[in-house]
Every structure is written in C-alpha cells, then in structure tokens.
Amino acid sequence: MLQAALADGTAHRHCLFEVFTRRLPAGRRYGVLAGTGRVLEALSAFRFDDGQLDWLAREQVVDSRTLDYLADYRFAGSITGYAEGEVFFPHSPVMVVEGTFAEAVLLETLVLSILNYDSAIASAASRMTSAAVDRPCLEMGARRAHEQAAVAAARAATVAGFAGTSNLEAGRRYGLPTIGTAAHAYTLLHDDEESAFASQVASLGPGTTLLVDTYDVRKGVQNAVRAAGTGLGAVRIDSGDLGVLAVEVRKQLDGLGARDTRITVTSDLDEYAIAALAAAPVDSYGVGTSLVTGSGAPTCGMVYKLVARADASGIMQSVAKASTAKTSSGGRKIPARQYGDDGRAVAEVLVTGREDVVARWESADERLRPLHVPLVVDGAVDSRWVGAYGVQTATQRHHESRAELPRGARRLSDGEPALPTVTRHLED
C-alpha cells in the first residue's frame, strides 16, 4: 500500500484512522483499554534500521523510493484516545491516529497487536478484581505466555487492579509491586517438609509464605507454624477443593494461635472460581493461565480503519467500509460518556457531523464527559502516559471508570454491554 501510494501521490494525503471494536466478547459487559502507554513507548522507537532496510531491498519487498521513505520514517502526526484504564464499548474509537496516509498506515499492526492483547488481559483482570472485591489478586502467569507477552500481561493486570506480579522484569520496567512464593520443587528438594520450611524461614524470615499442600495439607500447616511460629506471614494452597480447605486451614491456624497468618490460594483460578470463593476465608488469589490468556477472550477484536481522508483538493472527506458484517462508520467521532441523575453512566455517545464542526466541539452539557485525551501532538509523545507513572495513572482511571458503571455491569453472567452506544449528530 505504501509503495503504491507513494507512486501515485496519495501517500501524503491527510488521513484519520480509528481504532475500535465492533462487539465485545460473548458475555462481556464492558472492555478495559490497556496498552496505550506501551503503544506510545513503541512509537518513540519505531524506526527502520540498516539491517531491516537491507533485508527489504534484498527480498524485493518494496522499491527504492519506499526504502528511502522508510529510512527517514518518523511519525509526525497526532494521536488522541481514551485514557488508558478507561472502560470501553462497541463502535467507540478508543484511539484516533491522524497524519499522512504514509505515516499512519505503517502503525496499524503496531497499534493493534499491543491494544488487542493488553486490553484483553485488562478486561479479564477487571472481572477478576471485581469478583475478588477487597481481596488482592496477584499475577502469576509468566509461565503460560510468551516471554514478552508475560511482561505486558503483568502491566495490563495492574491497570485493572491486580496488586502484584511474580514477573520481576515487569516490576523493574514499570515499577510494579512484585511478589512470589516457593514452589513444590523446593519442598521436594529437601529430605522432608519440616527441613524445607525451616530452611525457608531461616533465609526469608517468619513473614514468608509457605506452600502447605505438597504432601498433606493438615500436616503442612502444623509444620509451617512449627517452623515460623504464630507470626507466620501466610500459607498457600495450590490444589484440592480450595473452599473447603480454606475453611479447615483457617480453623487450624486459629487453633494454633496463628490468627494473623493469611491464606492465599492458587490453582487455575478465573473470575468464576474467585466469585465462588467469596464466602471462604481466603485473603488473596494468585491467578495465572486464565489471566494471561484473557480468560476465554484472548483478543478484543479491535480494528484500525480509515474513516476520513483529504481529497485531491485537500478537503477532508468521510469514507467508510461497506463490506457485509464488517461495516465501518465514516467521519470524525468524538466519544463522550453520558450520566444520569445518580451520577452513574447511562450511555456512550459518539458526536458526529461536519469535520470542522466536530473538530471544534466541546461539551457544554455537564452530564457529558468527553473521553478523548491528547496522546501525541505533532509527533511528540505526552510523557504522562508512559513508564511507571503512566501505569499508576491508568490504574486510577480504571478504578474511577468502573465505579461509575450502572449497577449490574459487573455481573459475570451473560448479558448485553452495560452501556448502549448512541450517535449525536451536530448541525452545521
């Protein structure tokens, strides 16, 4: 596309691309936008080096004019979008990329590969933290994902409220709280459970977490308290009927005087298992596989579509795809959230109309909150959305955004999106 557009002169036409999803995964009532900060970090380093250009030339992927363009590529356009952590709904543009066709079209895979994965993880994580209520969820999925995806998953889970991650690289890169416990292998390494626990406590102190289900849970709890005393930090249960075992272990710990020792449970948890444990005396949940695979929805189905472009005279024109079941809506759209008398959201509103009118629109209705924020202005990335600070900002935004959803939006049962998406057309 780039090569052909450079050849016919359309590559430098001003264009508007929107990122949106046509539908939520089955049964989901809202999505959570995550990965925005990672897109901006990747954009800052999005270049074509000599080795890549040499390969493109050698394989005759593109011609010399295109190679020259790629050699000097820098995105100089602008990007607006939802603040990371915001909940989203079908058809609303969560990100808008504006620039020449040449510079914007090259970003499609970069943007979608990050937003689709990170938002899928954050959407699943939000359901889990919602089901957990005030009990912390801990991310432990690195062994079930690609090594780089694991870092992204830990970041996205934190945006949606997870309290810590076992992925140390994610902690280093984004300032996330890191956590961890010993595995069964450590217990099996020793001649018996007692010596394994004694060794761990000697090295890490009584505040450590001891894994008590390698052999027999009841004996494991006895050995754990014997090794660490009543000040034992926590025990972990990783198998069996977690609800029943949690009740038994809590009673046993209390009887041994370890009333402040916490119980954390792991073992293939998802949002449904977490909800089922609501009445059990569990203090925290460790979640792995279901989290990093999106708990049944590993992508958000986001697309990157051209919705407006300049014509030969430089006038912006709306364009739209009309393919069966894959339609798009042309023209610039400004998304806003509408609120009812109780302060809860009631609709996602897309403000549309003539290009110059929509571009100048500012809500005068106190019940409408515009959702787009500037992310990149003339090629310059807004640093508020990247790094550790960006994750903290996104986490707070998600907390506030989810709290304003209507009652029932957090139910795990199948249902329609929590908010309808409606269009408000501005007159000239």
Percent of the chain with pLDDT over 90: 91
- Picking from 102, 21, 19, 70, the residue whose alpha carbon sits closest to that of residue 297 is 21
| Rounded mean pLDDT, 317-327 | 82
Domain membership flag for residue 356: no
**5 near 102, Cβ under 8 Å?**
yes
pLDDT score, position 428: 57
pLDDT score, position 361: 73
pLDDT score, position 365: 75
**321 near 305, Cβ under 8 Å?**
yes
CA distance 366 to 58: 58
37 and 88 within one domain: yes
pLDDT score, position 281: 98
52 and 11 within one domain: yes
Number of folded domains in the chain? 2
244 and 192 within one domain: yes
pLDDT score, position 113: 98
| Rounded mean pLDDT, 116-121 | 98
Identify the CATH number of the domain in which residue 54 sits.
Answer: 3.20.140.10
Lowest mean pLDDT among 94-103, 145-154, 409-418: 409-418
Whether 72 shows a pLDDT value over 80: the answer reads yes
263 and 212 within one domain: yes
Domain membership flag for residue 421: yes
Q: What strands lie across the sheet with 14-21, from one edge to the other?
A: 316-318, 302-310, 14-21, 95-100, 78-82, 372-377, 380-381
DSSP percent split of the chain into helix, strand, coil, nearest 5: 40, 20, 40
302 and 416 within one domain: yes
Percent of the chain with pLDDT over 70: 98
pLDDT score, position 359: 67
Kindly report, residue by residue over 184-215, the tens digit of the pLDDT: 999 999 999 999 999 999 999 999 999 999 99
270 and 302 within one domain: no
pLDDT score, position 427: 73
Confidence class for position 131, pLDDT limits 50, 70, 90: very high
CA distance 155 to 151: 6
301 and 254 within one domain: no
Helices (H), 133-232: 147-159, 168-174, 184-189, 193-204, 217-228
pLDDT score, position 97: 98
CA distance 357 to 221: 68
| Rounded mean pLDDT, 301-316 | 96
240 and 324 within one domain: no
Identify the CATH number of the domain in which residue 223 sits.
Answer: 3.20.20.70
**332 near 358, Cβ under 8 Å?**
yes
214 and 267 within one domain: yes
- Burial of residue 387 (CB within 10 Å: 0-12, 13-18, 19+) is middle
**372 near 335, Cβ under 8 Å?**
yes
* Final residue of a structural domain among 249, 282, 315: 282
**329 near 91, Cβ under 8 Å?**
yes
Domain membership flag for residue 365: no
pLDDT score, position 355: 72
Mean confidence (pLDDT) of the chain = 95
Q: Is 335 helix (H, G, I), strand (E, B) or coil?
A: strand
pTM of the predicted structure, to 2 decimals:
0.95
Kindly report, residue by residue over 397-426, the tens digit of the pLDDT: 999 999 999 989 999 988 899 999 999 888
pLDDT score, position 364: 67
The DSSP call for residue 83 is P
Helix (H) or strand (E) holding 388: helix 387-403
Domain membership flag for residue 162: no
222 and 116 within one domain: no
Domain membership flag for residue 153: no
The amino acid present at 305, given as its one-letter code, is K
pLDDT score, position 322: 83
203 and 310 within one domain: no
Domain membership flag for residue 146: no
Domain membership flag for residue 351: no
| Rounded mean pLDDT, 79-85 | 98
Domain membership flag for residue 387: yes
Lowest mean pLDDT among 45-54, 125-134, 268-277, 312-321: 312-321
Residue numbers of the domain that contains 218 = 181-282
Kindly report, residue by residue over 339-355, the tens digit of the pLDDT: 999 999 999 999 887 77
pLDDT score, position 321: 84
> Tokens 């800052």 identify what position?
44
206 and 116 within one domain: no
pLDDT score, position 325: 72
| Rounded mean pLDDT, 19-42 | 96
